[in-house]
Amino acid sequence: VIEAGGRLVSPGLIESHIHLDKSRILDRCPAGTKGTMDHMERISEVKHHFTVEDVHNRAGQTIEDCLLHGTMHMRTHVEVDPNGGLRGFEAITQLADEYRWAIDLDICVFAQEGWSNVPEADANIVSALKSGAPVVGGAPKFDPDPEWQIRRIFELAQEYDVDVDIHLDTG
């Protein structure tokens, strides 16, 4: 028994959907016009500038803020499109190891900008899965062949025995 002095005690919070690789980039990629879906284009224009160190620093600050607010489990989606490559995955994997003492970090690798028509995206996802990514995901709405992408996600999930997390949050 611990006397908490009337304070609330609860389990740690869970952040179920965050993109740590893209956190803290408003200075590089300002918000779009309300109601538009141009966020992918704006982010695509800056991803090629992301370095492992840059993603590590920005995402690390976000993790620390989340920890200070009680988050103890997080699923982060990490884009491995060719213009970003595996740099974000490498940085977030390092952070998962560094902060293992404080937070469980699930890394979901996916291609935001299309997958069925981008062989390099498939190669990057497979490489991340071979390196231990525990979740494979996708954004079928943004792929020229959404059915192919869904089939491929489940093929890879079965092959690598990983979880699936598909973006269905877009209209």
Long-range contacts from 92-99, C-beta under 8 angstroms, 24+ separation: 92/20, 92/21, 92/55, 92/59, 93/131, 93/132, 94/52, 94/56, 95/20, 95/56, 95/59, 95/60, 95/63, 98/60, 99/60, 99/63, 99/67
What pLDDT sits at residue 38? 73
State the chain's maximal CA–CA distance in angstroms: 59
Give yes or no for a contact between 165 and 77, defined as CB atoms under 8 angstroms apart.
yes
- Its pTM stands at 0.90
What pLDDT sits at residue 40? 75
Question: 122-169: per-residue pLDDT in tens?
Answer: 999 999 999 999 999 999 988 999 999 999 999 999 999 999 999 886
What pLDDT sits at residue 37? 63
How, if at all, do strands 104-110 and 71-79 pair? parallel
What pLDDT sits at residue 3? 87
Percent composition of the chain: helix, strand, coil (DSSP 3-state, to 5): 40, 20, 40
Q: Could you say which residues of the chain have pLDDT below 50? A: none
Burial class of residue 66, CB neighbours in 10 A (0-12, 13-18, 19+): buried
For tokens 């498939």, name the residue. Answer: 122
What pLDDT sits at residue 33? 66
Give the C-alpha separation, 44 to 93, whole Å: 22
